[in-house]
Every structure is written in structure tokens, then in C-alpha cells.
Amino acid sequence: TVATSTDRRSSMSNEQELLCIFGTGDLGRSLGQRLLQTGYRVVYGSRRPHSCGPLPERAQVMSHAAAAQSANLVFICIHRENYDFLETLAPELKGKVLVDVSNNVEKNLYPEANAEYLQRLIPGAHVVKAFNTLSAWALQNGPSDANRQVYLCGNNAEAKQAVSVVATKLGFTVLDRGSVSAAKELEDFPLQLFPEWRLPLRLAVGLTAFFFFYLLIRDIISVYIKEKKDISFRIMVSLANKVFPIVSLIMLSLCYLPGVIAAFLQLYRGTKYKRFPDWLDRWMLCRKQLGLLALGFAFLHVLYTLIIPIRYYVRFRLSAITVRENRTPEFDTTMAWRTDSYYSVGILGFGLYLLLGITSLPSVSNALSWREFSFIQSKLGHVTLFFCTFHTYLYGWDKFLRASSYKWYTPPGYMLCLVLPSVVLVLKLLLLLPCVDRSLTRIRQGWERTNPDDDSRKSLLT
């Protein structure tokens, strides 16, 4: 068992703990500097103790065997390819805590995690994986924003406790991830670059590109061909302000569509225990990212709309109309109701949308109970979808009746983008009908259509 030397030494507050570091490269040096600053004594193990390059000033250097004998905790800061030479030190490392801080440059380079490999090589030692999610700069300078947490894993609880003590002394928060079989996950974490955002981002880029070219051809190129008028300056704001809301509304409905599909699937199968198809599972897992991207596009749409009155083009056109008319036209009350309503509904929809975004923040969603989170993301979420769709219908109003909206027999952009949200809202309304809702709730509480015996057991089981 690991000697509780950390505790004994700490309680004798005048004597500093001695820690050992194998490896005098980049990471080893940064770690050593930080440990010395915090008040530990550090001894390095090196093959060439007398000529191993610059090390932090107050650290000692010895051979590996000697260094390992003098301390109870050894940081292994060498490449995985060189772990095998550590086998020769197995006698000296017996009963010590080995802290594996290594990272690989790529995922799945090896079948086994580095920490599991090390534990297999030296079964007498207690391997703890820690500190690998930090960069060398963070180790050297202490915690900062993306680097306050240190994830640990290992088989022996006392070894993990000893490493925790060092980590908290360095100012980090420690999260225990379990046994050494969790090491693979810890080694993969620093290599990932937004894995769950890839699909939604590609989708957003694809939709943006599609609608950009669709509207470019319809609005600008067709005018150029038919009327020989160059209105290409309208790309920067007018066209952008059509593409962004269209993509936003489509992505928002893609965020709520899988839930509706899943509900119908459960109703059709009569049970909740059959697994969903893979594509539906993957879709359900990236709903949050779809929603947040849609919120980003909606935010850009709001800003582009609000700068309309300061655009040169708009002011020019308005004053040209005033000059030309030179008399007060009749005040169209329906137009006033329509435009005011559509702005008002749009603002309320965006406000609810922001609320959904705020409750997606990690700290806020952790403070909510499951019932509260579901109320906001599901109920208020569908209300948001409804407001935004209604906003678009009011914008369209009766444009679909006019022939001039259809250039070259293609529908306007806003009509294309209304298809998906309308489908989602209609299906959701169907799910809210009392008879359908009752069946679905029963299925979700565990009832299965094909097995009538379950009802009698319900009183015994949860």
C-alpha cells in the first residue's frame, strides 16, 4: 500500500515534500518549475545526470534508480515509446505512485492507452493518469480558464489521493474519473476539436451556400438579365439578411424534428425499448449544437435588420419616394397592423430563443432540475419555433398570390424555408391531441403493446 507520506510530511510544515520527475524535456521542465514554485523539492531522473541540458535551478539530478528511491511519487514525462526501459526499474518503482502525464499526437495510434500499458509493464507500482489535459504553459503558470480542472484515473485510491493533494496544492480542481480503464478517454480529450459540432457546422455551411446561390440567381442575376440593372451591391446586406433567417429557421426545425420522429416511431412500434436507428440517435445527440448555430444565425439576422434604416441605399430610396410622390398617400391600416405584428412576433420569438440559449450554458443547465430543463427546452422551445414560423408567415402574407414573386417558376426563399417548420409544428400538434398523448405517455412510462402481463406487474416495479 502507498505510504501516507504526503500527510506525514505536510504536517511537519517546515519540511518540504520531495517529488521525482523522469524526463528532462519540455513537459518535465515546466512541471518541475511549477512544483518548485509551489514549495516542493524536485529531483530529476536522467540517463546522463551530469550533462542533461538546462533544468530549473533548485532541482537535483540523479540517475533514474537513485531518483526513484528517494521519492514516493514519480512523474513520468517521457514518450510512450520509451516506457519499456522503465521495466528495468521495476524493483525500485515497486509501491511507488507513477503519474502518467503523456499525450499522443493522434487518436488511436495504439490499441491500449498509455497508462494501461505502463500499468501492465510495472504491475507493482500504482499508475495514476493525471495532468495530461493541461498544456505545458498551463503547468508552468498555474491554472487559468480552460485549465483549472485536472482529470485523474487509476486503480488505487490512496495513490489517487496522493496525486490529488499535489494537484490542489498547485491550485487545480481534481475530478476522479474512475479506474485506469478510463485512461483512453482522458488521452483522447485534448486531441478533440469540437467533434459534436462537425455535422451541424457542415449542415449550416451547406444550407448557407445553397440559399446564397439560389437567392443570388433569383434576385440579382435575374434582374440583371431581365432589366439590365446592376443591383449587386445588395449582396452585402439585403441578400445576407434573407439567407441568415432562412438558414436559422430551417436549423431550428431540424432541432425539433428528431424528437417528433422519435415519438411517432415509439407510437408505431408500441414500445420504447427498441433502439432507435443509428442516424436518429446521432441526430438526437447534436440537437443542442443545431439549436445554438440557429441562434447565432438569428442573432445576425436581428443585427442586419436593425441597420436597415442607416443604409445609404434605404435612405436614398425613401427620400426618392417622398420627393416623387409629393403628396400624402392613403394610410394603409392593414399594412400597419401586419408589419407591426410581424416585428413584434419576431422580437418575442428572438427573446425566447435567447432564453433557450442561456439555459444551454453548462452552469445554468446544471442548476436546473430535469423537469425545469425539459420545460424550457421542450415546451418553450416549441413555442419559439411557433413564433418564428408565424413571423415568417406574416412576412410572406399574400406575396405567394402574386405572380411577380415567382421568377423563372421558382418560389421565393421564404416559402422554401417554411416547409420544414410547418411540418414539425403540424406533427407536434398531432402529438398533443388527447388520445395520441395518452398512448405516448403510457409507452414512455414503460407499457408495451405486445405484452399485456406487464400491467399486473406494474405495482411491483418502477
Q: Segment 201-260, which members bind a copy of itself (CB under 8 A)?
A: 230, 233-234, 236-238, 240
Minimum distance between the CB of residue 194 and a copy of itself, rounded to whole angstroms? 6
Instruction: Compare residues 201 and 419 and give the one whose CB is closer to a copy of itself.
Output: 201
- CB neighbourhood size of 306 (10 A): 9
Dihedral Cα 264, 268, 269, 274, nearest 10 deg: -20
- Sites for a copy of itself among residues 374-403 (CB under 8 A): 374-375
DSSP assignments along 159-217, one per residue: HHHHHHHHHHHTT-EEEE--SGGGHHHHHHGGG-S-GGGHHHHHHHHHHHHHHHHHHII
Contact flag: residue 111 with a copy of itself (CB under 8 A): no
Contact flag: residue 92 with a copy of itself (CB under 8 A): no
Stretch that binds a copy of itself, among 361-369, 382-390, 395-403, 426-434 (CB under 8 A): 361-369
Contact flag: residue 409 with a copy of itself (CB under 8 A): no
Report the C-alpha gap between 40 and 34 in whole angstroms: 9
Query: Which residue type, as a one-letter code, is found at position 388?
Result: C
Contact flag: residue 84 with a copy of itself (CB under 8 A): no
Instruction: Return the C-alpha cell found at 373.
Output: 430543463
Residue 33 has φ and ψ, to the nearest 5°, of: -60, -45
Stretch that binds a copy of itself, among 63-71, 247-255, 363-371, 429-437 (CB under 8 A): 363-371
Contact flag: residue 108 with a copy of itself (CB under 8 A): no
Stretch that binds a copy of itself, among 61-69, 214-222, 348-356, 384-392 (CB under 8 A): 348-356
Stretch that binds a copy of itself, among 164-172, 246-254, 398-406, 416-424 (CB under 8 A): 164-172
Candidate residues 60, 63, 69, 360; the one interacting with a copy of itself per rule CB under 8 A: 360
Report the C-alpha gap between 253 and 387 in whole angstroms: 12
Picking from 171, 27, 190, 157, the residue whose alpha carbon sits closest to that of residue 100 is 27
- Sites for a copy of itself among residues 266-305 (CB under 8 A): 273, 288, 296, 299-300, 302-305
For the chain, the C-alpha Rg in angstroms (whole number) is 32
Beta-carbon contacts of residue 401 (< 8 Å; ≥ 6 apart)? none
Candidate residues 216, 348, 415, 416; the one interacting with a copy of itself per rule CB under 8 A: 348
Candidate residues 5, 70, 135, 422; the one interacting with a copy of itself per rule CB under 8 A: 135
Minimum distance between the CB of residue 299 and a copy of itself, rounded to whole angstroms? 7
The end-to-end CA distance of the chain, in Å, is 42
Candidate residues 227, 268, 323, 433; the one interacting with a copy of itself per rule CB under 8 A: 323
To the nearest 10 degrees (0 to 180), the angle between helices 287-306 and 333-358 is 140
Candidate residues 175, 201, 419, 432; the one interacting with a copy of itself per rule CB under 8 A: 175
Contact flag: residue 261 with a copy of itself (CB under 8 A): no
Minimum distance between the CB of residue 253 and a copy of itself, rounded to whole angstroms? 21
- Mapped onto helix, strand or coil, the DSSP state of residue 152 is strand
Contact flag: residue 88 with a copy of itself (CB under 8 A): no
H, E, C per residue of 57-87: CCCEEECHHHHHHHCCEEEECCCHHHHHHHH
The DSSP letter of residue 451 is -
Stretch that binds a copy of itself, among 86-94, 107-115, 312-320, 402-410 (CB under 8 A): 312-320
Candidate residues 208, 365, 405, 422; the one interacting with a copy of itself per rule CB under 8 A: 365
